[in-house]
Amino acid sequence: MIIVEFSVVPIGRGESVSKYVAEAIKILENENIKYEVTPMGTIFETERLSYAFNIIEKAHEAVIRAGAKRVITSIKIDDRRDKERKMEDKVKSVLERLSVEK
C-alpha cells in the first residue's frame, strides 16, 4: 500500500486559498478512495503509484481551471513493499509506542 500526502497551492491569488483547495479535494471525492484532509494537505492511500499521480494531476489541473496562473504542488509518497499497512496503521504504531512507554 502506498500512502500519499499532497498539497496544491495557488500563488498570487490572494492569501485565502481554500476556494482552490476545495477544487482539488473534489477530485478525491469523485474517486472512490479513502482520504483525509489535514490542516497542511490531503492524505490518501492507493495500491498503484500511477493512479496516485493521475489523481494529483487532476487536482493540480482543477486548481488551474479555477483561475490560478501559478500553482506549487508538493507530494510525499511513502511506498512500503515489505509489509501490508494502511494509513491508520502508521499512526497507531507510533501512538502505541507512546502509551506503552508512559
Binding site for its own copies (CB under 8 A): 3, 5, 9, 11-19, 21-22, 25-26, 29, 36-41, 43, 45, 49-50, 53, 56-57, 60-61, 64, 68-83, 87-88, 90-91, 93-95, 97-98, 101
Smallest gap from Cβ 33 to its own copies, in A, equals 14
Smallest gap from Cβ 47 to its own copies, in A, equals 14
Comparing C-alpha atoms, which of 5, 7, 82 is closest to residue 45? 5
The amino acid at 35:
Y
3-class state of residue 35 by DSSP: strand
Smallest gap from Cβ 84 to its own copies, in A, equals 13
The amino acid at 11:
I
φ, ψ at 71 (rounded to 5°): -135, 130
For its own copies, the closer CB: 14 or 32: 14
* Secondary structure letter of residue 17 according to DSSP: -
For its own copies, the closer CB: 32 or 81: 81
